[in-house]
Structure 1
Amino acid sequence: MLLRFRVANVRSLRDEQELSFVVPEGSERERAAARELAFSDGSRLPVHTVVGVFGANASGKSNVIAALKNMRHAVLRSYADWTSYDGIPRDEFALDPKAASETSLYEADFVLDDGVRWTYGFELGARRVEAEWLYAYPKGRRQVWFERDASRDKDFEFPGERLHDRTRLARTTRPDALLLTRAANDGHEQLTPIFDWFKNNLWDVTPETERTQREDYTAMQLLRSEDFQRRAEELLKVADLGIAGVEVEQSSSGRPVVRLIHAGGGERTAMDWSSESWGTRSWFALIGPLLLALDTGAVLLIDELDASLHSRFAAEVVRLFQAPWVNPKGAQLIFTGHDPSLLRTPGGGRLLEPGQLWLTEKDERGATELSSVADWDPTDEEDLMASYLAGSFGAVPKVSEGQIGRRLMRTDDLARMEAEEV
């Protein structure tokens, strides 16, 4: 499971920002809503399975997702891909000229299936990896597996001699590649599980893009597994789409043909796929990645969860990851959204607790600040949706009622006056 993610100088995330799944101290209500994660040293920690990132348009919500994707791509592809670039691809903060000369930071704190906590991170310069580190906590105390600092005469240090093939790894890792990537490419027995965590996590889903590929994936899983079809049909039915089932067949073109069975007036009708609504197709396309994440215990990233899904659909996605009986492997969801109704259940309760609700807001430099609603110490009885909309936590558009219309009218008036002067 992912515990924390730190990032700096990536897109609008100029200064160091941290996103955390760990339940804030002193919140018994949040502890009850979280999972107790058991560590290898016998200790336990309450960890959330869902966090949502909200904020105004262009406040940097999607950049949090992008930074997580960047880190995953760097780990998986730095050794093979970065040789084709003139320097290292970084996405540094564009609104400050000094940012180009500073490093971009990525760090993830996570726990493997054996209960051992790991911290892995790196700092990227324009043309080389300036720093890289890997720490383990098998008995609660930090073990340094390796540390890298390009400013030293000897880049790599391996305290404790825990890591095998140290000399070869140090000698064969290029200045513009990560040691973790280099080791995994050779099947390094100790480091490959760390590499595999990134390979099997931080999957990205954007409902408005690549929908066709995800539709095909969901359809192929329906063809391959009766259990998957049973669960997919339940998810389609629970979304109250009037769907009674699904038919899938393999076509001569290689793409599966999908028909959803609609029930109404005592009749069952198989609808052509092109006749289905955008919302229905988006929900269908999301089912495949959702079930895969739940089955494997992966960390799933969904940007703009509510962009093409009704708020009820989006809330059901959150509930899937929240429910222990549906999510026994502790899969996690990080999503961005706009719809404040995701903060409240139909009965008036909370869908997300304060420690699960993160907000993005840009400062006067255009840099994104990421903060948790838990930092505002809301009471257990407080309506988070109402407080958010009222601007109590910030991170809402600073637009007064009618302001946009008045500005349009003013622009039209100015244009008319200029035309009359001509």
Structure 2
Amino acid sequence: MLLRFRVANVRSLRDEQELSFVVPEGDEGTGARRLPLSDGKQLALYPVLGIFGANASGKSNVITALKKMSQAVLSSYAEWTSYDGIPRDEFALDPEAAAEKTFYEVDFVLEDGVRWTYGFELGATRVESEWLFAYPKGRRNTWFDRDASREKVYDFPGARLQDRARLASTTRRNSLLLTRAANDGHPQLTPIYDWFKRNLWDITPEAERSQREAYTAQRLLESETSRRRVEELLRVADLGIAGADVELQPGKPPVVRLRHSGAGEEPVSLDWQAESFGTRSWFALIGPLLLALDTGAVLLVDELDASLHSRFAAEVVRLFQTPWVNPKGAQLIFTAHDPSLFRTPSGRRLLEPGQLWLTEKDERGATELFPISDWEPTDEQDLMSSYLAGSFGGVPRVSEGQVGRRLLETDTSAQMETEEI
């Protein structure tokens, strides 16, 4: 499970920012889970984090940064050639940022309960530093520490790692040691690499939707149980769907036709292109959502509310929040605009203050990321109303009617300039 993510100098995330699933002390609420650790202790974690904020405040960049870290781990050895440099996408509004390092770090726990910290810093042409720590008994064990500025770049304290000399001599200056090791099936480091391979799946409303639709269609064909799960999620969305049919075509994506309840006794099958954007978006989300729940993975959903009604977006959150639906501890990170996701229709909190993260840009155009729990709201405080009132920040700095007044002023100025001519 993912505990924390830290990042700096990626897109609008100029200074180091942290996103954390760890429950603030004394703030467990109703959504927290207790994760057993290898040292016999337990750690309280949230299964869901929601990121809210004004347009262009950097919400999506948090998701992008997580994805970029994963891409670096999975592809640095094969794709970062010595001729092309290192892809970084550093902060663009400060010329000095190009000469500074890009920083990534994650804390996570594997199935055996051991907590790990892995991170790295990237320059324009080389990996500046890389590190891996384990906490099997609560105390930090350094597995490797890489620093390109040292005469001896690699340090392997305690001789815990196999094939140390070979890894140090064969890892390119612009490749991650973790990637290099996993490409050779290193028995100790491959499980760390595999954590990235199985997690941090990124979903946006439009990107790769056809592939996700095809994957959900395959889930319909896997087994009768899998079909029932997919069809039930389609029906519960209140889309008037009675079932789904899938037709396989050699060398082509599967053809899906959803059966809709109509005026007659028999459901009516519609051509896939006739389905609404919302229906297709929900169908494309079902496959990855079920895969995350089945495997205990971390799912990243950008703009969860972009094509789903807020009531149903809230149901997606509840799938991850409910222990008996999510027994393997899958985690969800989503971005959204709709603050109605702060609470249920009955007025109770859907997400605790530590699960609600806000993004706000400073005077430099850099994103600041922080949880509402930093403001220490009371148990009785209506988080949605307080957020909309600007009590926590993270809302557009615009007064009622300001957009219309600015437009009118622009039109008036343009008319006066025309008359003067």
User: For 1:130-149, what aligned pairs fall within 5 Å after superposition?
Assistant: 130-149=128-147
Counterpart amino acid of 2:378? T
Q: Is the 8 A contact 1:51 1:356 kept in 2?
A: yes
Q: What is the CA distance between 1:225 and its match in structure 2?
A: 2.3
Please point out which of 204, 222, 227 is paired with 1:224. 222
Which ranges of structure 1 fall in alignment gaps of 5 or more residues?
Answer: none
Counterpart of 2:50? 52
Mapped partners of 1:84, 1:257: distance in 2: 43
Task: Give the match for residue 368 of structure 1.
Answer: 367
AA of the residue aligned to 1:208: E
The one-letter amino acid of 1:218's match is T
Which residue does 2:25 correspond to in 1?
25
Q: Which amino acid is the alignment partner of residue 366 of structure 2?
A: A
Query: Matched residue of 1:255: which SS?
Result: strand
Distance 2:100 2:273 in 1: 50
Contact 2:47 2:331 in 1 (8 A): yes
Q: What is the CA-CA distance between 1:253 and the residue it aligns to?
A: 5.3
Corresponding position of 1:339: 338
- Contact persistence 2:18–2:369 (CA under 8 A): yes
CA contact (8 A) 1:208 1:308 kept: no
Q: Which moved further from structure 2: 253-262 or 34-43? A: 253-262
1:4-38 alpha-carbon deviations (Å, 9 max, x no partner)? 00001111111110000000001242xx4211100
User: How big is the shift at 1:224?
Assistant: 2.1
- What are the superposed Cα offsets for residues 190-225 of structure 1, whole Å, 9 maximum, x if unpaired? 000000000100010002322211111111221222
**Which residue of structure 2 lines up, in the alignment, with residue 288 of structure 1?**
287
CA shift digits 1:36-66 (9 cap, x unpaired): 1000111001101100100000000011001
Does the 8 A contact of 1:10 with 1:90 survive in 2?
yes
Spell out, residue by residue over 1:297-327, the C-alpha distance to the aligned partner (whole angstroms, 9 max, x if none).
1001111111122112211111111111111
- Which residue of structure 2 lines up, in the alignment, with residue 319 of structure 1? 318
In percent, how many aligned pairs have the same letter?
A: 76
Instruction: Tell me the residue number matched to 1:351.
Output: 350
CA drift at 1:361: 0.2
Which amino acid letter does the alignment assign opposite residue 19 of structure 1? L
Aligned to 1:42: 40
Q: Report if the CA contact (8 A) 2:31-2:351 is conserved.
A: no
Partner of 2:308: 309
Say if 1:28 and 1:69 are closer, same or farther in 2 by CA, change over 3 A.
closer
Distance 1:85 1:408 in 2: 49
CA contact (8 A) 1:207 1:286 kept: no
SS of the aligned residue for 2:299 comes to: strand
2:72 to 71, 74, 77: 74
Q: Which residue in 1 is equivalent to 2:3?
A: 3
CA distance in structure 2 between the aligned counterparts of 1:165 and 1:129, rounded to whole angstroms: 20
- TM-score normalised per structure 1: 0.98
Residue 261 (structure 1) aligned with residue 259 (structure 2): yes
Tell me how large the CA RMSD over aligned residues is. Answer: 1.1
Instruction: Give 1:329's aligned amino acid.
Output: K
Structure 2 distance, partners of 1:85, 1:213, is 32
CA distance in 2, matches of 1:243, 1:346: 24
Q: Deviations over 1:53-82 (max 9, x none)?
A: 000000000110010001000000001111
Aligned partners of 2:385 and 2:80: how far apart in 1?
A: 47
Q: Tell me the equivalent position of 1:395.
A: 394
- Greater shift, 166-175 or 271-280, is seen at 271-280
Which of these residues, 59, 69, 72, is aligned with residue 61 of structure 1?
Answer: 59
**Superposed displacement of residue 84, structure 1:** 6.4
Unpaired runs of 5+ in structure 2? none
> Residue deviations 1:258-289, cap 9 Å, x none?
11111234522222212211111110110000
Q: What are the superposed Cα offsets for residues 359-381 of structure 1, whole Å, 9 maximum, x if unpaired?
A: 00000000000000000001111
Which residue is equivalent to 1:170?
Answer: 168
Secondary structure of 2:261's counterpart equals strand
The CA distance in 2 between the partners of 1:355 and 1:150, in whole Å, is: 37
Structure 1 CA distance for aligned equivalents of residues 72 and 249 of structure 2: 37
Moved over 4 A (4+): none
Distance in structure 1 (CA, Å) of the matches to 2:103 and 2:94: 16
Cα 1:205/1:84, change in 2 over 3 Å: farther
Relative to structure 2, which stretch is displaced further, 10-19 or 270-279? 270-279
Describe the SS at the equivalent of 1:264. coil
Question: Residue in 1 aligned with 2:213?
Answer: 215
**Equivalent pairs, count:** 420
- Alpha-carbon distance between aligned partners in 2 of 1:309 and 1:207, rounded to the nearest angstrom: 10
